[in-house]
Amino acid sequence: MIGPPEDPTFADLLELEEIDRDIFRGWSHAGAPMRTFGGQVAAQALVAAGRTAGERVVHSLHSYFLRPGNPTAPLVYLVDRLRDGGSFTTRRVSAVQYGETIFSLSASFKAHEEGRSHQKPMPIVRPPEESLDLYQAAEDAGDDRAASVARLVLELRGPDPTSRFAGSSVPDGSEAAIGVLDDDIPRRRFWMRAADRLPDDQLLHVCALAYMSDLTLAGTATLRHEIPPHELMLASLDHAMWFHRPFRADEWLLFSVESPSSSDGRGLASGEYFTEDGRLVASVMQEALIRRRASR
From the list 28, 94, 270, 286, the catalytic residue is: 286
| Three-class SS of 77-99 | EEEEEEEECCCEEEEEEEEEECC
How far apart are alpha carbons 217 and 154 in whole angstroms? 13
288 in helix, strand or coil? Answer: strand
How far apart are alpha carbons 175 and 186 in whole angstroms? 10
From the list 214, 250, 256, 259, the catalytic residue is: 214
Residue among 234, 211, 213, 231 nearest 222 (CA): 234
Cα 130 from chain centroid?
23
DSSP notation for 169-219: PPPTTSHHHH-EEETTEEEEEEEEEESSPPPS-HHHHHHHHHHHHTTTHHH
Is residue 214 part of the annotated active site? The answer reads yes
How far apart are alpha carbons 163 and 158 in whole angstroms? 10
Contact 105, 62 (CB under 8 A): yes
- Alpha-helical regions (H) of the chain: 10-13, 38-51, 134-140, 175-178, 202-213, 217-221
Is residue 283 part of the annotated active site? The answer reads no
From the list 44, 106, 213, 236, the catalytic residue is: 236
Catalytic residues: 214, 236, 286
